[in-house]
Amino acid sequence: MTQALTPGSITVGSRVKITRVRDRIPADLVEVLKKDASGTVSGYKMTDGSGIGVVVELSDGSSGWFFDDEIAPA
């Protein structure tokens, strides 16, 4: 069973591609994304009380969270 972020949007289990990032991510995560910018949505994260981020498991097994406008379906 999948859970929707918003109607018609990315769901848990979806394959996504990271299309851009903001400067808040660590250098090692940047290196992983340079090699393979795709992953699987594994959950959600409240950001600043007014938004929801998407937790993405990457190809090397690590994960990071991204804003909805930083990802696209793969």
CATH number at residue 42: 2.30.30
Which residue type is seen at 58?
A: L
How many domains are there within the chain? 1
* 6 falls within a domain: no
Report the SS3 class of residue 21: coil
Q: Would strands 71-73 and 52-58 be described as parallel, antiparallel, or unpaired?
A: unpaired
Residue 23 clears pLDDT 60, i.e. is over it: yes
What is the longest distance spanned by two Cα atoms in the chain? 34
Per the rule left: phi > 0, alpha: psi between -120 and 50, beta: everything else, 55 is beta
Q: Determine the structural domain holding residue 56 and report its residue range.
A: 15-73
Domain contains 8: no
In a domain, 7, yes or no: no
**Strands annotated E in 1-74:** 15-18, 38-46, 52-58, 63-67, 71-73
pLDDT, tens digit (0-9, with 9 covering 90-100), for 38-71: 999 999 988 777 778 899 999 999 999 898 889 9
**Is residue 5's pLDDT more than 60?**
no
